[in-house]
Structure 1
Amino acid sequence: MTDRVGRTAAEIAAAVREKQVTPREVVAAHLARIERLDGRIGAFRAVRVERALAEADEVGARTDLAELPLAGVPVAVKDNLPVRGESMRIGSAATPDVPAGQDHVAVARLRAAGAVVVGLTNVPELCAFGTTEGVHGTARNPWDLTRTAGGSSGGSAAAVAAGMVPIALGNDGMGSLRIPAANCGVVTIKPGLGVVPAGIGEGDWFGMSENGPLATTVEDARLMLSVLAGTDAVRQHTPGARTVAVSLRSPIVGVTVAKPYTDAAREAAGLLMKAGHQVRRADPPYPVSLSLTSLAHWTAGTSVDAQGLDARLLTRRTRVHAAVGRRFARGVRTGTSREELRRRLEPFFAEYDVLLTPALARRSPKAGPWHERGWLRNMAANTNYSPMTPPWNLTGWPAMAVPFGTLPSGAPCAVQLVGRPGSEGELLELARQLEAAHPWRRTAPVDRPARASAA
């Protein structure tokens, strides 16, 4: 395997298992690409050059190499999960610069499967926003460097889209996997509650946050999810046609969805219909109160994560976000509003197996110092471009972002697939069918000057 960079995780692992290439060679090639490109992209907060090479040698010496599903595969980890020997800064100057004593269970499972952690990726402060920038760097969309990669798993999505790693670990509390994946043209799945160990921050944002994969192919997303879940159950699905509802409207009242995203959802619906699925236009019965419910949970999660940190070291937008959340925290802890939302939406998912929507309402905001801007300006920017994702964190149901089509700027467009609890395998299968019928370019052309989008 001469081209060690640009291969999928499945291809790399197969080549390592068959002794066509060593883990050190693979990791070294990806570290070289990171060194060459990341100054422009800003995906990484820390790169583990010496440790990653040493760990690659350890993988190569393992006696069970032939059985490792991610043998020698370089992986990036979002900087809100502990990685042994590395500090966890969560995008903030207020967090301690102290090495973690042990890996998060999701990181440990990746390592056990043969993956090598090459670095920790940039996030917005306390992972609270849909754009990634702050004291540790700004993550840009590799397809259009004038635009943010999204957030809060923005660095992880950018690293995968730029080919600096084939897969990355992120997590999703209100869309934090799906938003940057949709921006950067990569695949992700937010698993349902309990499928993958969470353990994110101080209480998983009241149980809404889930760890999940970012990848360039559905096969890699499925492979990584099976490792994270510790089971092949996510690979399984019952063959046959599905009933698919297509909804083009925003769940949040007053937010409109731009034409490229509605067009993508319509075209994806047509392909699923041609594949034999029953596809109909239907909108879930979103309550008018959804915007307030989303805001309450979003801010309350940050208020919990900010406890114990020196507020003077937090940025203004984070301080305000946490202060607003403290007013909501008591009501959020009861779980009443989330349970009411589930009851309201369950009849819809009794009628339909899968919901297909646009992944975003419009392209991501311009990259810039959003952490230095006011809270209201950040709220408006986040809500207006990413209203499609929060309902499925509130319900705890699985949801995917799948690249589909392109924006006028040439950057990727995307659709979202949502299912009832336990439907991860079904969503991945539908995503595979979309990928087969409408393949996407896996890696952004970052080796040549970026094309800037129109204002």
Structure 2
Amino acid sequence: MTSWVGRTAAEIAVAVREKRATPREVVAEHLARIERLDGRVGAFRSVRAEAALAEADEVAARPGLDELPLAGVPVAVKDNLAVRGESTRVGSAATPDTPAPEDHVTVARLRAAGAVVVGLTNVPELCVFGTTEGVHGTARNPWDTSRTAGGSSGGSAAAVAAGLVPVALGNDGMGSLRIPAANCGLVTIKPGHGVVPAGISEGDWFGMSENGPLATTVEDVRLMLSVLAGTEVARRVEPGPRTIAVSVRSPLAGVGVSRPYASAVREAAGLLAGAGHRVRPAEPPYPLSLGLVALQHWTAGTAVDAAGLDPRRLARRTRVHAAVGRRFLTGVRTGAQRERLRRRLDPFFAEHDVLLTPALARRSPQAGPWHERGWLRNVLANTNYSPMTPPWNLTGWPAMAVPFGTLPSGAPCAVQLVGRPGSEADLLDLAEQIERLHPWRRTAGLA
């Protein structure tokens, strides 16, 4: 009997379309793995076992099965996006436990493409922090379960890295796809603004949050992004030399990058230079005020999301984050700071097609009850390990995390690729070159 656990989404979809596998057997195998392993990983807040098997049967009976791009593919959904018939808790005790009447548009597109939603994944409360823990569970890195999977799409990343599903849906407001992908050895892309429908919580964090895929291969990211975008935005482009800027400096003053992440960037730069690209050191002109601007937007987004929720049911770190953010709401809503940052960085991307940086500054914090710890301790832990991602939410430009090498602990290391608006296909093409020249282990060896 062929096992479909550990196969890519692309492989599963082809097998289902060719009648070499049924959606039910594929989904059932993944549900069995979830039941066996998720107690150690903490990826899921809710598993839809019976509903998923019924939906798998519906996919099998659907006319045009042989044309569905994600036929029979099990997918996990981040618990801040509506799944019809399921509650959307956003990692909190303060949110209502009422079933959603309709799918979020991205979930609807995945289902229309033949995917089967097997469950909703854990997030930190209101998707605020870069570690995933709270009243609904703790998501751990399957490569090193003593460490957090990252956040806020931590449960989605853990599910894919553990082989519980081949692909998952998440979103990214300050790095929430790229941070857990980098921790867990996955590929992801935060698409540029407007490429994929957002509709995340209340106002998409002023347009900074984007929905996107988490996967183990660039092919699966490309496939899922095309479904989410509803176009061939992720089509392969004609290969050709790109001008690639290389920077290992943190965008945030006072935060350094550890040796393993800096070394990964230098090695990836050499690889891309050997592939014929024009690679050169170049520092983006980050403003000294970037850290403060990022903090203002980060906290203000939480202030909007927390409005209307019972503060007595929110964790203290969330309450403080929202209270800080309320002071910045008026200024943040104008978008003036983000527009100034775009104008400042535009000339840099006129000279360079792509920016290559570390994905993180250091390995992720220990898994633990971060939701019970103080606000400042959480902010410092997040900032010190993940300073590389926020600028590209502020600009609204596309950025990827791509696995590259390993840390001394044996857990994955990663680099980040950033491009100008509309460069998603270019970034995916470069990531595919990296994957071909420097392949990575796709899933953690959990047994």
The TM-score normalised by the length of structure 2 is 1.00
Q: How does 1:45-444 map to 2 (within 5 A)?
A: 45-444=45-444
- Indicate the residue corresponding to 1:453 in structure 2: none
* Structure 1 residue 238 displacement after superposition: 4.0
Q: Could you tell me whether the CA contact under 8 Å between 2:236 and 2:429 is conserved in 1?
A: no
Query: Structure 2 counterpart of 1:420, which letter?
Result: R
- Separation of aligned partners in 2, 1:237 and 1:181: 24
Q: Could you tell me whether the CA contact under 8 Å between 2:239 and 2:429 is conserved in 1?
A: no
Moved over 4 A (4+): none
DSSP 3-state at the match of 1:189:
strand
Q: Could you tell me whether the CA contact under 8 Å between 1:238 and 1:426 is conserved in 2?
A: no
Q: Please list the CA deviations of residues 353-384 of structure 1 after superposition, one character each: whole Å capped at 9, or x if unmatched.
A: 00000000000000000000000000000000
* Structure 1 residue 237 displacement after superposition: 2.5
1:9 aligns with 2:9: yes
- Separation of aligned partners in 2, 1:157 and 1:237: 27
DSSP 3-state at the match of 2:170:
strand
* Structure 1 residue 225 displacement after superposition: 0.2
- Separation of aligned partners in 1, 2:361 and 2:436: 25
Q: Please list the CA deviations of residues 73-100 of structure 1 after superposition, one character each: whole Å capped at 9, or x if unmatched.
A: 0000000000000000000000000000
DSSP 3-state at the match of 2:53:
helix
- Separation of aligned partners in 2, 1:221 and 1:233: 12
Q: Please list the CA deviations of residues 88-143 of structure 1 after superposition, one character each: whole Å capped at 9, or x if unmatched.
A: 00000000000000000000000000000000000000000000000000000000
* Structure 1 residue 234 displacement after superposition: 1.9
Q: Please list the CA deviations of residues 299-338 of structure 1 after superposition, one character each: whole Å capped at 9, or x if unmatched.
A: 0000000000000000000000000000011100000000
RMSD of aligned alpha carbons: 0.6
DSSP 3-state at the match of 2:425:
helix
Structure 1: any 5+ residue segments left out of the alignment? 448-455
DSSP 3-state at the match of 2:147:
strand
- Separation of aligned partners in 1, 2:136 and 2:418: 33
DSSP 3-state at the match of 2:327:
helix
* Structure 1 residue 446 displacement after superposition: 1.3
- Indicate the residue corresponding to 1:451 in structure 2: none
Structure 2: any 5+ residue segments left out of the alignment? none
- Separation of aligned partners in 2, 1:270 and 1:17: 40
- Separation of aligned partners in 2, 1:20 and 1:411: 35
* Structure 1 residue 236 displacement after superposition: 4.0
Identity %: 82
Q: Please list the CA deviations of residues 171-219 of structure 1 after superposition, one character each: whole Å capped at 9, or x if unmatched.
A: 0000000000000000000000000000000000000000000000000
DSSP 3-state at the match of 1:235:
coil
DSSP 3-state at the match of 1:279:
strand
Q: Please list the CA deviations of residues 250-291 of structure 1 after superposition, one character each: whole Å capped at 9, or x if unmatched.
A: 000000000000000000000100110000000100000000
Q: Could you tell me whether the CA contact under 8 Å between 1:186 and 1:217 is conserved in 2?
A: yes
- Separation of aligned partners in 1, 2:333 and 2:237: 34
* Structure 1 residue 233 displacement after superposition: 2.3
DSSP 3-state at the match of 1:234:
coil
- Separation of aligned partners in 2, 1:136 and 1:12: 30
